[in-house]
Structure 1
Amino acid sequence: MTSSRLTEFHAWAAHPRQGWEAFCAGRWDSTGPRDFSDPFVDETDGSVVRGQSPPVRYETTTWTSPWHRPPFASQEVIVSFNATTPGHSWIEVQIQVTTRQTETTGTVAAERTALEPSCPSRWFTMARWCQELPNPRDPDQGGAIHRAGVDGQADQNARVDTDTLFAAEGRAVTAYRLRAVLLYPRGAPERPAITLLGAAATSLPRDAPVEAPGDTGPAGSTDPTSPAGPAAGLELAVRPLSQMVHRGVSPQYGGGGESWCSPTSVAMAMGYHGVIDPVDAVVPQTARGTWDHAYRGAGNWAFSAAHAAAHGLEAFVTRLPDLRALEEFIVAGIPVVVSASFRAAELDGAGYSTDGHLMLVTGFTASGDVIVNDPASHEEPSDEHVRTVYRRDQFERVWLNGSRGVVYIIAPPGTPLPPHPDRRSQA
């Protein structure tokens, strides 16, 4: 099946690719001092709780992008970024959108462009982020803040849920601009740097959503499965890692490895690209490095990409329309992290159900089925059970219906990407 939505990834970067813009397209401003109190504090048992740390005065520099207008009205926007934060520096990533009312005729959502002027939103904070977490035992060696999203952000235009901005009911995003605030203590020699800031926009649905259970077509749908493409018979040699090996490890991070599908998938991708040693010990480190203290999870999509980028890779979050588009990344030598949700009966061989799960696609069989390093390991604590083959039709369905095609693209800087990584498709 091919997605019934349009997608676009647009970015500003220190080293822009085709279709991206350079940071010189935006505006840098010295925005003066800012006092900030970290809303999280460390406890003596190693846990982190909501509290009020003493305020620290930071100097700030702000970069603001120009307005970008996707070629369609958007229902969702996912922001991702690459940055480094030495010393006690950190960054805040924000988005502002314009919206218009929408109307629905049958199953087709359309922008009601003639009835009202564009309406700008507030600035929404998508991330407060630093590479290293604070070290209560040795503050000089730790980071500045506990990285986190910001809860409870909404206005008449949109709302934020962890890592995604959603247009308010009855509205659609028509344009957005991004802002990065770089913060560093007064007098400190270290400065944060941002090398990529981008957003994946997703259109309103153009057809009625596919019903999951009870249908008789492939994977519960009569929609055709995308045909096998150039990656058929190709598999990348990615060292498998199991999240289940770490059950109960570091329970302050989501109860341990049982919840670490995203960091385990990221660790496998990072290991494949040679920036870390792909052994089991890196999984808890990656969980800590991607942890969102507001969300209380290691599955924040933007934080996952930012962690990989902080180790010298280039990474961003986007959506793809189908497995045929994903195959192009395998051909380019890039394993792809995908987000899916399913019941056990919807994905033969999985052996478990999930409301949200991250896996690493490493290749395709000769017939086009999907070769996956599934960190849930069929719920067995063994790296030997991680490599799995899933039916193409079933996998495509649970991925596109579960997250509408969300992927992490993680690669060394300068790696050639497929010509259209933000490929737009229409069912």
Structure 2
Amino acid sequence: MDRAGRTDRTDDISRRSVLATAAAVTALAATAAPALAAGRAADRSGAPRADRLVDNRFWVSLKDWSTGTAEGTALVTGARPGLRIKKPVGRTDYTDPHTGRTATWEYARWTAPAHRSAVPATEVIASWNARTPPGTWLQVELCGTYADGTKSPWYVMGRWTSGDNQETDIRRTSVDDQTDGKSTVWTDTLSVDDAAAGPRVVSYQLRLTLHRKPGATATPTVWRLGAMASAVPDRFTVPASKPGPARELKVPRYSQEIHAGQYPEYDNGGEAWCSPTSSQMIIEYWGRGPTPEELAWVDPSYADPQVCHAARRTFDYQYNGCGNWPFNAAYAATYKDLQGVVTRLTSLTDLETLIAAGIPAITSQSFLKEELTGAGYGTAGHLMTVIGFTADGDVIANDPASPSDPAVRRVYRRREWENIWLRTKRYNASGKVVSGTGGVCYLYFPARPSARQRAALAAVGVR
């Protein structure tokens, strides 16, 4: 039986989209592999290649930020370009649904130009890197254009603050019940309702609204904004890949399980903290972490207080959990000169490319106990950190669902791990068809990566 305590997502379909019937899934899975193989030939007409599954577009350079429509925002120049409030263009009242408090905020806004995706997408996930001083926050919205020419509403993809001051900050939150009959937002993901027959998202715009208290001088600063659009075919299995170079990165090991029962107000405590625990491992791999002052709120008797801190700073008050993907990437990027994105990879070869360049990855997967030898558990959704590959091509993972920090390092069989991570459909313990993540991962890397790291990121579609 899947352990709900170890989830960043659940089998509950209110969280994710699924196919209309299991029969349709089976038919699509059977045809996916040959269709992909046929699509690998170059299309000289200039149309998107049939094997293109993922499209990433991020606004991160001074040139990028200059292309958008600014309403009261100003460019931040220097080594890390971005946006800030220059002169507010309006005021709005916001009633925080998690506190009931209504407050007035002034705001400025920036709207990205429309981006036409190389992939007519069934899912779009936005992510951002920013810092919000106390008394400030930001909202990210997305408007998609469908293949039939119609547009979605402006969907709220997140209301976010990097802090957690109970007096000055809003509660970090996703927004439920957003749909137009063609697509729906499930926590952090815009998903086309009928991936098989409905119109797909062919382009989108992002809108960023920066808020602060009226008359204040503090401002959010945003360094990266973008989205990953994808159309991963429905599949129960994926083709096996050939092992690449062996390498293991020295990543700190943290167990979520030693925090069981701690701070239950954050997703019932540590047993559910796979996502922030994984995030903290990678943040510290890059030499970043919270200060002693930032950890002062944690009970001094608790081991690894930085894991508790990560859980608090990634908690989504609407989702009622720490597994909001963009919130984790945004948390990582609050540390000096660190970037975070949510994307999809299409193979273990992609992961090997990143590992070879010194970039670990946080991956999301779900499986039955018998599907992953050595795990010792089954899960409806779990994050772990890939830190390397053995000479035989097996996956070396820091799995936070371990009884102690030293036990976190695991070696999982390549073929098993590859399939549970990259598939989009699976059978749960009751034989019901449920969703898989289709290669979702978080990537954290320096604001100024090395030439080799830039090349590896470019190879997987991230810049």
Structure 2-normalised TM-score?
0.76
After superposition, what is the alpha-carbon deviation per residue over 1:25-83, rounded to whole angstroms, capped at 9, x for unaligned? 11111331111111112xxxxxxxxxx21x22211110100000111210000100001
Instruction: Please tell me whether residue 351 in structure 1 is matched to residue 376 in structure 2.
Output: yes
Q: Secondary structure at the match of 2:267?
A: coil
Contact preservation (8 Å) 2:350, 2:460 = no
For residue 120 of structure 1, give the secondary structure of its aligned residue in structure 2: coil
What's the secondary structure of 2:308's corresponding residue? helix
CA distance in 1, matches of 2:304, 2:165: 24
Measure the CA separation in 1 of the matches of 2:460 and 2:250: 29
| SS of residue paired to 1:403 | coil
Q: Secondary structure at the match of 1:23?
A: helix
Query: 1:8 touches 1:202 (CA, 8 Å); kept in 2?
Result: yes
Secondary structure at the counterpart of residue 362 of structure 1: strand
After superposition, the CA RMSD in angstroms is: 2.0
Q: 2:158 aligns with which of 101, 107, 127?
A: 127
Residues 312-367 of structure 1: CA deviation (Å, up to 9, x unaligned): 21000000001101111111211110001000111000000001000000011011
Kept in 2: contact 1:73–1:203 (CA 8 A): yes
Q: Residues 208-219 of structure 1: matches in 2 within 5 Å?
A: 209-211=234-236
User: Which residue pairs with 1:112 in the alignment?
Assistant: none
Contact 2:136 2:212 in 1 (8 A): yes
2:322 to 280, 298, 318: 298
What is the rounded CA distance, in whole Å, between the counterparts of 2:61 and 2:333 in structure 1? 13
Distance 1:363 1:277, change over 3 A: farther
Structure 1 residues 173 and 204 mapped into 2: Cα distance closer, same or farther (>3 Å)? farther
- 72, 83, 91: which one pairs with 1:33? 91
The one-letter code of the counterpart of 2:179 is A
Distance 1:277 1:186, change over 3 A: closer
Determine the C-alpha separation between the residues in 1 that align with 2:265 and 2:394: 37
The alignment partner of 2:215 has SS state of coil
Partner AA of 1:299 in structure 2 = G
Query: How far apart, CA to CA, are the structure 2 residues paired with 1:70 and 1:192?
Result: 28
Q: Would you say how many aligned residue pairs link Structure 1 and Structure 2?
A: 369
Alignment-derived partner of residue 45 in structure 1: none
Of the three residues 397, 405, 408, the one matched with 2:419 is 397
- Counterpart in 2 of 1:182? 210
Over 3 Å off, 4+ runs: 1-5, 416-425
Structure 1 residue 419 corresponds to structure 2 residue 455: yes
What residue number does 2:200 align with? 172
Q: Which residue of 1 aligns with 2:29?
A: none
Q: Is the 8 A contact 1:318 1:422 kept in 2?
A: no
SS state at 1:22 partner: helix
1:113 corresponds in structure 2 to: none
Structure 1 residues 86-110: Cα deviation after superposition (integer angstroms, max 9, x where no partner): 120000000000112xxxxxxxxxx
Shift of 1:5: 6.5
For residue 67 of structure 1, what is the aligned residue in structure 2?
114
- In structure 2, the residue corresponding to 1:338 is in which secondary structure? strand
Q: How does 1:8-407 map to 2 (within 5 A)?
A: 8-14=55-61, 22-30=64-72, 31-41=89-99, 52-53=100-101, 55-100=102-147, 116=148, 118-135=149-166, 139=167, 143-169=168-194, 170-203=198-231, 205=233, 209-211=234-236, 221=237, 223-230=238-245, 232=246, 234-276=247-289, 280-312=304-336, 313-377=338-402, 380=403, 382-401=404-423, 402-407=436-441
Contact 2:121 2:230 in 1 (8 A): yes
- 1:134-181 Cα offsets, whole Å, 9 max, x none, are 32xxx3xxx420000001000033210001000132121010010110
- Letter matched to residue 206 of structure 2: L
Q: What stretches of structure 1 of length at least 5 have no aligned partner?
A: 16-20, 42-51, 101-115, 212-220
**SS of alignment partner, residue 35 of structure 1:** strand
> Quick one: which amino acid aligns to residue 443 of structure 2?
I
**CA distance in structure 1 between the aligned counterparts of 2:368 and 2:313, rounded to whole angstroms:** 29
- The whole-number CA distance in structure 2 between the counterparts of 1:161 and 1:130 is 20
Identity value in percent: 42
Distance in 2 separating the partners of 1:196 and 1:156: 30
Alpha carbons 2:134, 2:165 under 8 Å: kept: no
Residue type of the alignment partner of 1:39: P
Is the partner of 1:69 in helix, strand or coil? strand
> Conserved in 2, the CA contact under 8 Å of 1:319 and 1:422?
no
2:137–2:220 CA contact under 8 A, matched in 1: yes
Give the match for residue 214 of structure 1.
none
Which letter does structure 1 place at the counterpart of 2:440?
Answer: V
Partner SS state of residue 275, structure 2: helix
Provide structure 2 residue ranges, at least 5 long, that are not aligned to the other structure: 1-31, 37-50, 73-88, 292-302, 424-435
Shift of 1:204: 5.4
Which residue in 2 is equivalent to 1:49?
Answer: none
Equivalent position SS for 2:387: strand
* 1:418 CA displacement: 5.0
**AA partner of residue 171 (structure 1):** P
Deviation of 1:420 after TM superposition, in Å, equals 6.3
The 3-state SS of whatever aligns with 1:176 is strand
Contact 1:315/1:410, CA 8 A, preserved across alignment = yes
Aligned to 1:329, the other structure's residue is in SS state helix
8 Å CA contact retained: 1:79, 1:126 = yes
CA distance in 2, matches of 1:152, 1:134: 27
Distance 1:119 1:421 in 2: 33
